[in-house]
Amino acid sequence: MEVIVQKYGGTAVETVEKVQKIANGIIQRKKEGYSIVVVVSAMGKTTNRLIELANSVSAKPDKRELDMLMATGEQVSVSILSMVLKEKGYESISLTGFQAGIKTEGTHTKNKIIEIDIERIKNYLEEGKIVVVAGFQGINGEGDITTLGRGGSDTTAIALAAKLKCPCEIYTDVDGIYGVDPRLYPNAKKLDTICFEEMMEMSSLGAKVLETRSVEIGYRYNVPIYVASSHMDKKGTYIKEFDKQMEQKVITGLTISDDILMVTINHIPYSPENISNIFSSLSDREVNIDMISQTSPNNNRVNISFTTSKENETVVDEALNEQVKKISGIKVKKDSDVSKLSVVGMGMRNESGVASKMFKLFAENDIYFKLVTTSEISISYTINASDKQKAINAISKTFNL
Ligand code: ADP
Ligand code: ASP
Ligand code: MG
């Protein structure tokens, strides 16, 4: 029997009425003859509320306990959905990540799936049951409950589909993948298909519609992914392997990340050792650096700018205060009023002049950028947050996104 994994996000299971609705969609697929594994997120904004609850008792909640707390959100939604399915006359069983055999490793709140023991799920499917699995969670080598990072239910679903060698349908509050987040650019156009490479780049550069790791797993195991609205009323977007038949736009998508802290260190005496010490002090504190640029030496001094996530601000301060004491004359400046805007497209591999077109657009619209980085299929710019909307409108219009 053919298996399908379906995933429903928080908005789709926000209320009992909405759970009733998605249950009908699940049953419809069951009637079509499929064996079904359903992965669900916590109801509505439950995860945010649980984090607030933890923050109300501790300034820095213990991460193991936070995982224990956050994982309860999905436990509520799986049991409710399973009860609703049973009420409607369908055999169903809910499973936590642990019961579903999802094994993880890494640091608490950011675990990675390393293995899935799929036997239990397979047995239930053979018995004809609809298997409802809690997204976002697993169990580590110590037997502790873990979570996979925000948005991690996508990863649960796609990893299960990879293991079951079946397609994965992601049902969310938007009816597919758009060239630009429709909340940021309401005229954005929906894509019929997008290849894994572009989706991976868009996710990692800030398009939260799919969690980055989930797309990586999809790419690695070639899982056909379909993203659509949980209302199932409109055709969604297929994510699949790149093939030459796909419409090759130079720019397929634009993404924005507002979670950017830009740090500039001026007047660094030019020596590889100083630069190494600065970045070691950051990496020792597990600060992930994103963009980096360095000016050429002037009077034997250089300036370095880098970006990182805003959540690292306190540790960045700690690391750089230490360096200010050690390296004479350096000055640190921080700017959190910036956004990272990226354009993504497979067509960039063969087409030159995209950067120049973008520079022209910025010039025409009087938009100043601070840092630029490129990959084979993307270009990213750090711009003032106040110019964000102007830049989105100009680029989306010009490239018909
Ligand atoms: P879920 O709770 O179902 O996982 P998310 O909020 O994580 O849903 O993801 C869906 C949201 O992703 C949409 O509401 C939309 O605003 C946002 N989004 C960001 N970029 C895009 C894009 N390029 N196309 C579609 N949606 C996008
Ligand atoms: N409930 C989790 C979160 O809000 C996981 C998910 O929704 O994918 O991040
Ligand atoms: Mg999500």
152 lines ligand 2 (CB under 6 A): yes
User: Does pLDDT of 11 surpass 90?
Assistant: yes
Domain end, chosen from 173, 193, 225, is at: 173
Quick check: is 137 in a domain? yes
Determine if ligand 2 sits within 6 Å of the CB of residue 303. no
pLDDT given for residue 118 in this prediction: 97
User: Which of 351, 360, 370 has its CA nearest to residue 395?
Assistant: 360
Q: How many CB atoms are located within 10 Å of the residue 30 CB?
A: 18
Q: Is 269 found in the same domain as 162?
A: no
The pair of structure tokens assigned to 44 is 């509505």
Residue after which a domain boundary falls, among 140, 173, 206: 173
In a domain, 329, yes or no: yes
CATH of the domain at 14: 3.40.1160.10
Does residue 169 sit in the same domain as residue 272? no
How does residue 252 score in pLDDT terms, banded at 50, 70 and 90? very high
Q: How confident is the model at residue 233 (pLDDT cuts 50, 70, 90)?
A: confident
Domain ends where: 158, 173, 188? Answer: 173
Span 59-82, pLDDT tens digits: 999 999 999 999 999 999 999 999
> Considering the domain boundaries, does residue 7 fall inside one?
yes
Residue nearest to atom 6 of ligand 2 (CA): 151
pLDDT at 33 over 70: yes
19 has a pLDDT exceeding 90: yes
State whether the beta carbon of 183 lies less than 6 angstroms from ligand 1.
yes
Residue 234 lies in a domain: no
Q: Are residues 46 and 144 in the same domain?
A: yes
* Residues 15 and 162 both lie in one domain: yes
Domain co-membership, 54 together with 161: yes
For ligand 1, mutation pick of 18, 43, 173, 227 (most atoms within 8 Å of CB): 173
Decide if pLDDT at 102 tops 80: yes
Let me know if residue 270 belongs to a domain: yes
Residue-number span of the structural domain to which 318 is assigned: 261-335
* Residue 243 reports pLDDT greater than 90: no
Helical (H) or strand (E) element with 74: helix 63-87
- pLDDT category at 247 given cuts 50, 70, 90 is low
Shortest-distance atom of ligand 1 to CA 227: 25
Q: Is the pLDDT of residue 112 over 80?
A: yes
Atom of ligand 2 nearest to the CA of 73: 1
Q: Which ligand neighbours the alpha carbon of 191 most closely?
A: 1
H or E segment to which residue 139 belongs:
strand 137-139
Judge whether 392 and 343 are in contact, CB under 8 Å: no
Among 247-251, 259-263, 299-303, 313-317, which is the least confidently predicted range?
Answer: 247-251
Distance 66 CA to ligand 2 centre (A): 14
Band of pLDDT at residue 353, cut at 50, 70 and 90: confident
Name 162's Cβ contacts closer than 8 Å, sequence gap at least 6. Answer: 217, 218, 220, 221, 223
Supply the mean pLDDT for the chain.
95
The C-alpha atoms of residue 74 and residue 82 are separated, in whole angstroms, by: 12
Do residue 164 and residue 276 come from a single domain? no
What's the domain count of the chain?
2
What CATH number should be reported for the domain holding residue 274?
3.30.70.260
Mutate to test the pocket of ligand 2, among 70, 150, 227 (most ligand atoms within 8 A of CB): 150
Per-residue pLDDT, averaged over 385-394, amounts to 97
User: What average pLDDT score do residues 284-308 get?
Assistant: 94
Residue 400 lies in a domain: no
Give all strands (DSSP E) within 151-260, no chain letters.
168-172, 193-195, 225-229, 237-240, 253-257
Indicate if 136 and 30 belong to the same structural domain: yes
C-alpha distance from residue 284 to each of 119, 260, 276, 277, 289 (Å): 41, 20, 12, 10, 12
What proportion of the chain, given as a percentage, has pLDDT over 70?
100
Centre of ligand 3 to C-alpha 158, Å, is 13
Which residue carries 């926000």 as its tokens? 14
pLDDT category at 245 given cuts 50, 70, 90 is confident
249 domain residue, yes or no: no
CA 227 to ligand 3 center in whole angstroms: 11
Is there an atom of ligand 2 within 6 Å of 6 CB?
Answer: no
pLDDT tens string 193-216: 999 999 999 999 999 899 999 999
Same domain, 15 and 149: yes
Is 171 close to ligand 1, i.e. is its CB under 6 Å away? no
Radius of gyration of the chain (CA): 23
For residue 182, which ligand has an atom nearest its CA?
1
Instruction: Give domain status of residue 281, yes or no.
Output: yes
Instruction: Answer whether residue 4 shows pLDDT above 90.
Output: yes
User: Is the beta carbon of 136 within 6 A of some atom in ligand 1?
Assistant: no
Q: What is the pTM of this model?
A: 0.93
What residue has token string 């950067």? Answer: 355
- For ligand 1, whether the C-beta of 173 sits within 6 Å is yes
pLDDT value, residue 350: 84
